[in-house]
Amino acid sequence: MANFSVDQSLSKAKSYSQKGKIEEARKLYKTILQLFPNNTRAKVGLTKLNVHKNINFSFPNKQVMDEIIEMYDQGYNKQVADKVEIIIKDFPNSFFLWYILGMVCLNLNRFEQAESRLRKAIELNPNFPDGYNNLGIVLLSNNKFEEAIDVFKKAIFLKSDFDEALYNMGIALKEMNFKYPNPDLHIYILKLLDKETFVDPSEIAKAVISLIKCDPDIQKIININHNNEFNQLSIKLIKELSKQPLLIKLMSVMPIPDLELETFLMNIRSFVLFNISKTLNMPDILKFQTAIAHQCFINEYLYQEDIKETEVIVDLEKSIELTLLNNKQPDPIEILCLASYRPLHLYSWCHSISLPKQSKVIIKLQILDYMLEKKLSSEMLVLEKITDGVSSQVRQQYEENPYPRWVSLGLHLKPFTIYEVVNEIKLRLVDKAINSVISPEILVAGCGTGGHPLNTASRFKNSNVLAIDLSIRSLAYAKRRTKEFGVKNIKYMQSDILDLKQLDKQFDIIESSGVLHHMEEPIAGWKVLVNCLKTGGLMRISLYSELGRGHIIEMRNKIKKLGMDSEKFAMKSFRQDIINSEQSDNRRIFLPSSDFYSFSGFRDLLFHVQEHRFTLPQIHDCLSQLGLKFCGFEKSEMINIFKSQNSGDNDEYDLDKWNAFEIANPKSFKSMYQFWCQKIK
């Protein structure tokens, strides 16, 4: 392929198409897309061929149809609509015309019209997957999430590798809370979660958990827990759980953010530990115990253990070591029981063990990945030794507990230009020159475990991302996962924001999410970032809200009065006290926050060594002081709520109006302020 010419191949494919050699054209377009997945001309060409192939539309004039497609591809939506409205009177049974008309209405945000026209198109041709996918997009826009899921299912049924429809289903699932069983949907969600970059599992956790809990077998175990009838737990029940692939999958991709499920997983973990001899050579038990070991490692062994469990674990450690010293292998259930309480890499004998095929993932997860990250840590680029006092404390926290915990991410299906991103989230720019930057240089300041830079690298077309963080362990995890995803446009480096002047470099875009408010002097760190930003460059900042974190402030003050430190046992005990408490204030901590369900998240939530919070007037003053102009908040449902109450053209960009809105709705920014600004001087 060394001499492969994209332009020549595109011309040849177009020539094949014009001569009616459809299969030859299709093969060539597919070859181009295999080598260059983002080639727009190849995508458009293939789309045209697929339209021709799938449409039986009683529309004899191919030249007119090609003209309509060409106009549509060039974005002339109004002209296409006018032309099609005339032609469709003579060809009312043309799927193609109804489909194009529906797509034009979608592009023009005429969602009700788009829905009716796409439904008509599907009625005329019920076997065209793109029709269902685009109808699903319209239904999403109309907040008809359950209907959208149904049509995305149909699209994927017709085209099993339809990634876009699967990705869109993930968007719909974020808004769902199921009340009734839907066994068919399990298959599609499993397929979605198998795609490690299509959806952040935490964003669909509510939907997936509600669906899982509709199952009668799950409800049975939950009821046992509610009634404190733990003696009813049995090997038979655990075998039934091993037949729950969606639950097992969820346990492997995220800390389970549900106290009912957490409780029964804790009880099953304990039950198997105390009944090891009864579970030997049972593949079903092994399967579910593998999932528990996976889950406990992901949540960083957050679950409490009592004294009896600790005693059995100590005996189990000795037994496994003795067995290995005698050149024998422990039973897999023994290894997995231990792995659900302690990470296997802690033990000197860890490289001597073996597990059956279905459980080998635990060896990779708890031993091999850890060793690889250790190696990557030793090779990490370092800008300067961390010397700032608070930075050193923050670094220590994240070395002990890298944060945030993640296994899968919701990355962008395709990258966009800066201009397209700015338009999509409706940023108001002072200087529009940034829109013409073709290959943006981007800094992610405080990248944690890599989710943020991976998202940014997938969002911006032709971008080069430098991601920095205080924690070597967090960076090592980020680097390992970035390599596994095959992402090549991110470079990782250990650095304190305060030392970035040593880079002697300026960036087109700088993003810093949830970092500045953990510095001793946030404004000093923010000023360093501004100095690293080109004039006219964009900056995305996320900061804690004083109003939004009112309940967190109360809890942190309570912890301070109690004189608690960040010792692991104390934190886990305090968490259990919160769970057992009858006070409604405590429920406000764990109900909305996925951070409550991993140890690093819980520590970050309530026990962070340094935390500042801001108000919108304070942010306004910071922006003025730093020579930055507010451009708008990151896209969210909250903006729609704000706009329903503030209809002026400039209201969305007025921080005074946003401040009034937040005072009236103090939970609006319970996570963080996430906003964009531009350097104007």
- Whether 81 contacts 72, CB under 8 Å: no
The model's confidence at residue 232, banded by pLDDT at 50, 70 and 90, is low
Question: Which has more pLDDT, 17 or 54?
Answer: 17
User: Residue 274: its pLDDT value, please?
Assistant: 94
Please tell me the least confidently modeled range out of 385-389, 474-478, 507-511: 385-389
User: Residue 594: its pLDDT value, please?
Assistant: 86
User: Residue 383: its pLDDT value, please?
Assistant: 94
Taking the C-alpha atoms of residue 35 and residue 38, their distance in angstroms, rounded to an integer, is 9
Please tell me the least confidently modeled range out of 239-248, 451-460, 492-501, 585-594: 585-594
Q: Helices marked H in 518-649 — which ranges?
A: 522-531, 550-562, 568-580, 584-590, 599-606, 616-626, 637-645
Taking the C-alpha atoms of residue 421 and residue 431, their distance in angstroms, rounded to an integer, is 15
CA dihedral 524, 529, 532, 535 (to 10 degrees): -100
The model's confidence at residue 4, banded by pLDDT at 50, 70 and 90, is low
- By three-state DSSP, how is residue 564 classified? coil
Two structure tokens written together for 669: 């920014």
pLDDT tens-digit series, residues 449-459: 999 999 999 99
- By three-state DSSP, how is residue 198 classified? strand
The model's confidence at residue 6, banded by pLDDT at 50, 70 and 90, is confident
CATH number corresponding to 389-547+613-679: 3.40.50.150
- Whether 539 contacts 529, CB under 8 Å: yes
- Residue written as tokens 């039986």? 56
Taking the C-alpha atoms of residue 143 and residue 136, their distance in angstroms, rounded to an integer, is 10
Domains of the chain, by residue range, sit at 215-375, 389-547+613-679, 550-606
Average pLDDT over residues 148-163: 95
- Residue written as tokens 């392929």? 1
pLDDT tens-digit series, residues 588-638: 776 657 899 999 999 999 999 999 999 999 999 999 999 999 999 998 888
Please tell me the least confidently modeled range out of 66-70, 132-136, 153-157, 657-661: 66-70
Q: Residue 170: pLDDT above 50?
A: yes
